[in-house]
Structures are given as C-alpha cells and as structure tokens.
Structure 1
Amino acid sequence: MTEEDWAQVWPFWDEIVQAGETYAYPLDLTSEQARALWTVPPPGQTVVLEEDGTILGSATMGPNRPGRGSHVGTASFMVSGAARGKGVGRRLGEHVVQWHRDAGFRAIQFNAVVETNEAAVHLWQALGFRIIGTVPEAFDSRAHGLVGLHVMLLPLVEG
C-alpha cells in the first residue's frame, strides 16, 4: 500500500469500523489516526488489492507479537462494500498466507475474529485455520450485543 492508496482505503475502512460488527477500533478516529493504526511497519506489510485503478480491499500482516513471539504471524483484512462476495477476501487471505510462509513464520494466529462474522469465519476455515478458543462476550456488536471473539490458528510448519 502506498500513501496515495489511503485515499481509497479510508472510506471503506471507516465504513466497516462505524458499522460496529467486526473491529473494535475507536469510532472517532481521523483519517490520519486510522492510517497510522492500519499501516504496518517492517517487518510487516500492508497491501491493497486493486483492479482497474480501484482498490477493492486491504490487508495488514506481520508478527503477532514482538521478540520471542515473532515467529507467529497475524493479519487483518478489510474489503470495500462494493467488492464483497467477489473473492477479494479470499485473494487477500491467500496472499497473506503465502507471504507468511515465504517469510518463514511457523503459524498465523488471528486474535479476534468476531463469531457473528460468519463469512470471515468460514473463509478462514476454508483456508485451513481452526478455532482454538473463543473469548465469550469479548466484542460488543452493534447488531448482536455481546458476542464471542474466536482465536484462530493456521500452522505453517509441522511439529
């Protein structure tokens, strides 16, 4: 993702956060504050999926924890409303998994997949992730009230 890309990412990023169904970011962030939270510095990376000059989605990836936890990766994803249901999340997910493999990570851990976000849960399971635990009532969904957050894991090496 380049600095110029943010102008297209910000509208759907903000729409997703304001919807209150998948991310626990503060609702009053400015564009610059949001960009600072979303843009991952090296050794991580933030990418966009663009077609014909239109950005359809964005993903962040990198170590889940610093230091002694840096061998396990993590990622976050946002897809524009106009592009949902068109395979953008899957393409970003496949890219993120391969990026982690190529970078030598041993696993990818998603720390907080909202259990009512069924499309995301099914996608991650289709890509090989499994739910290893659920924190009950850890997310305050605008539509569903207090719901659980899944911790999901994809081992990248055996053993």
Structure 2
Amino acid sequence: MNIRKAITSDFDKVWEIFSRVIKTGDTYVFHPNTPKKDLKKHWFADYMETYVLEEDGQILGTYIIKPNQIDLGNHIANCSYMVNPNAQGKGIGKKLCEHSLETAKENGFEGIQFNIVVSTNKIAVALWEKYGFEIIGTTPKGFRHAELGMVDTYIMYKNLKGEQ
C-alpha cells in the first residue's frame, strides 16, 4: 500500500469513495445527495492537502489535512478520512491516520482536532482513541443520523507538540 498526494486524475476515484461513504448518512455531515461538483470544495480545496492510499493501482482510501482555523488558530490541523466500503477491515484507516499524524508534524501543526465525530461511529472513535485522540467535548444531538435520528457528536483532539 502506498500513500501519496492526490493528483487531478484521482478526482473520479476519490469521488467514488466520497459518494459511497456519504450516501449512508451515518458518519459525515455532507448531504447524501451532494453533487460531484462539490467535491472540489469539500476534498480538493486550495487550502487543504489531499492524499490517497492505493494498492495495485486502486485507490482504497483518502484523507485531507488542513488548518482547523485561520490565522491565529492555524497551528492546529483538522483531518477527514474515508475508506472505500469494499476495502474496510484491511487496516486502511489505521494507515491513513498514521500518515496524517506524520504529515501534521512535518507541516508544523501542534495538534489535530476533529470537530465532529459521530458518537455512534464506534469503529472510528476507537481508532482515534487508539492513536491518542481524546474526546474533549460533546455536542448533544449534533448529527441527524439517517437511521437513528439525532445523535451526539464528539470533538476529539490530539496534542502533537513534543512528539517526535
């Protein structure tokens, strides 16, 4: 498996993953019917870096990294990750997380904050906790889950300052 910066020709393959992940309405805030043209602003904007994980010429996962805030808050990163549903359970989320932690450190970020992690997404919460992220806040009923209705969301944070 190889992780690299996404290039223009990856757009359609990333869209395939993005559209399948959001269609379920259970983990991301994007409307399940988000049009393809919006991928540029959500996953390929100028102020973020986009990465893909590929194996045997197939893109199996992707993530973005960007400053969580502008100006005086830009020392904290924000990341989002997506794995092709057909490739789940192969450790791709783990590899994307590890890569993003290294990328964040290389880019001088002092921490990473996830602004909205759906509380019912137990696999993601457990993965982030395994990598040292902590739940630092809860938004009651912060997400309209497609099947469960209103569910809580978490703000998760990992301090990178002082890590090698």
What CA deviation, in whole Å up to 9, does each residue of 1:43-64 have, x standing for no partner? x310000011100000000100
1:133 and 2:144 correspond? no
Report the equivalent of 2:29. Answer: 24
Give the superposition deviation at 1:29. Answer: 2.3
8 Å CA contact 2:26–2:147 kept in 1: the answer is: yes
Q: Which runs of 5+ in 2 are unaligned?
A: 1-5
1:45 and 2:49 correspond? yes
Give the superposition deviation at 1:102. Answer: 1.1
Give the superposition deviation at 1:28. Answer: 2.9
Structure 2 counterpart of 1:71, one-letter code: H
Counterparts of 1:35 and 1:29, CA distance in 2: 12
For 1:9-158, what aligned pairs fall within 5 Å after superposition?
9-42=14-47, 44-158=48-162
8 Å CA contact 2:24–2:32 kept in 1: the answer is: no
8 Å CA contact 2:67–2:74 kept in 1: the answer is: yes
Q: Secondary structure at the match of 1:111?
A: strand
TM-score between both structures, scaled by the size of structure 2 = 0.92
Q: Which runs of 5+ in 1 are unaligned?
A: none
Q: Number of aligned residue pairs: give it.
A: 157
Q: Secondary structure at the match of 2:101?
A: helix
Identity fraction in percent: 37
Larger mean CA deviation between 149-158 and 117-126 belongs to 149-158
TM-score between both structures, scaled by the size of structure 1 = 0.94
What CA deviation, in whole Å up to 9, does each residue of 1:104-151 have, x standing for no partner? 111100000000000100000001100001101010111211111100
8 Å CA contact 1:63–1:72 kept in 2: the answer is: yes
Structure 2 counterpart of 1:15, one-letter code: R
8 Å CA contact 1:40–1:60 kept in 2: the answer is: no
8 Å CA contact 1:40–1:62 kept in 2: the answer is: no
8 Å CA contact 2:141–2:151 kept in 1: the answer is: yes
Report the equivalent of 2:3. Answer: none
